[in-house]
Amino acid sequence: MRILLISDIHANLVAFEAVLEASVNQWDQVMFLGDLVGYGPEPNECVALMRQLPHVALSGNHDWAALGRIDIESFNANARQAMHWTQATLSTASYDYLAELPPLTMDSQFTYAHASPRDPVWEYVSDLETAASNFAHFETNVCFVGHTHVPVIFVLDALQAVTAYAPVYGEPLSLAGTDRFIINPGSVGQPRDTDARAAYAVLDTDAVTLTHFRVAYDVAETQRRMIAHELPPPLIARLQYGF
C-alpha cells in the first residue's frame, strides 16, 4: 500500500489542495500526523476535505487547544489570538471529528505520533539528543512524527549512533534493514525550514521506502484569506518565508 504521509496542515486549505493535486494517483490512503487546525483561515474546510479522503488522522497540540483540552496561555500571543478565532469558528461537526483523534497510533510496521513517541502531543524532536532518547519509546523500526514543521530524517545505526539529515526530494529512501528511523515529512500548511513550499511524503509499505516531496502553492491566496479573517500579521507574513 502507498500512504500519503502529511502533517501540520494548520487550516491552510490552499496548501492542502496543492498537495493532493501534486500527489494524485501516488497513494491509496492518507496518514495525517496532526494539527489540522490552528494558525490558518479554513479549519472547517480542511476538516471536511480530510473526511472525504480514505485516511487515518492523529490530533496535535493545536487540535487539542481548539478542543479546549490544553491551556492556551502557553501559546505565544499570535498563536493564542489565532486559536481564539479558531475556537469561535470551529463547527460542531469539526469539533466532534477532532475530538475522536488520538495523538499516536501504530501498526505492525510503523509508529505514528504527532510530536514524539515519548510525548505524542508536546515534545519537539528537533535535535540529535532528543531523537536518540526517543528510540527507546517505540517498538517498530520506524516512527513518523510532525510538530516541528521541519522535514528531517534521524537514523539510529547498528553501532547505536544517531545522525540527522535533510531529505533528498523525489528520491526513495529505503527503510528496510536494521537501521531505525524517526522521520518528519514536514508541514503542509506552515513550513518552518525556510522553504515556503508545502511538504509531504509518500510511504510505500510493500517496498518499504519513503519519498519526500515539496510543492509550491498559492501562498498569496492563503494570505488573502487570513487577512479577511484579521488573523495576526506575523502569522500571515511567515508563510512566504517558510519560517
In the bound state with Zn ion, the residue whose beta carbon lies nearer, of 71 and 171, is 71
Cα angle 8, 13, 18 (rounded to 5 degrees) comes to 90
In the bound state with Zn ion, the residue whose beta carbon lies nearer, of 63 and 110, is 63
In the numeric block, which cell numbers belong to residue 57? Answer: 488522522
Please report how close the Cβ of residue 23 comes to Zn ion at its closest, in angstroms.
20
* Residue 39, C-beta contacts closer than 8 angstroms, at least 6 positions apart: 10, 11, 12, 62, 79, 82, 189, 190, 231, 235
Stretch that binds Zn ion, among 4-12, 63-71, 152-160, 173-181 (CB under 5 A): 4-12
In the bound state with Zn ion, the residue whose beta carbon lies nearer, of 35 and 123, is 35
In the bound state with Zn ion, the residue whose beta carbon lies nearer, of 141 and 222, is 222
In the bound state with Zn ion, the residue whose beta carbon lies nearer, of 1 and 77, is 77
Measured distance CA(230)–CA(7) in Å, rounded: 25
Stretch that binds Zn ion, among 3-11, 40-48, 95-103, 154-162 (CB under 5 A): 3-11
Please report how close the Cβ of residue 22 comes to Zn ion at its closest, in angstroms.
21
Contact 111, 138 (CB under 8 A): yes
Q: Is 35 in the site for Zn ion (CB under 5 A)?
A: yes
Please report how close the Cβ of residue 64 comes to Zn ion at its closest, in angstroms.
11
* Residue 213, C-beta contacts closer than 8 angstroms, at least 6 positions apart: 22, 23, 169, 170, 199, 200, 201, 202
Contact 7, 147 (CB under 8 A): yes
Please report how close the Cβ of residue 149 comes to Zn ion at its closest, in angstroms.
6
Q: Is 193 in the site for Zn ion (CB under 5 A)?
A: no
In the bound state with Zn ion, the residue whose beta carbon lies nearer, of 8 and 195, is 8
Q: Is 63 in the site for Zn ion (CB under 5 A)?
A: no
Please report how close the Cβ of residue 213 comes to Zn ion at its closest, in angstroms.
19
Residue nearest to Zn ion (CB): 35
Measured distance CA(59)–CA(62) in Å, rounded: 8
| Contacting Zn ion within 93-112 (CB under 5 A) | none
Strand order in the sheet with 162-165: 104-106, 110-113, 142-145, 180-184, 152-156, 162-165
Question: What region does 25 belong to: left with phi over 0, alpha with psi -120 to 50, or beta?
Answer: left
Q: Is 8 in the site for Zn ion (CB under 5 A)?
A: yes
Binding footprint of Zn ion on the chain (CB under 5 A):
8, 35
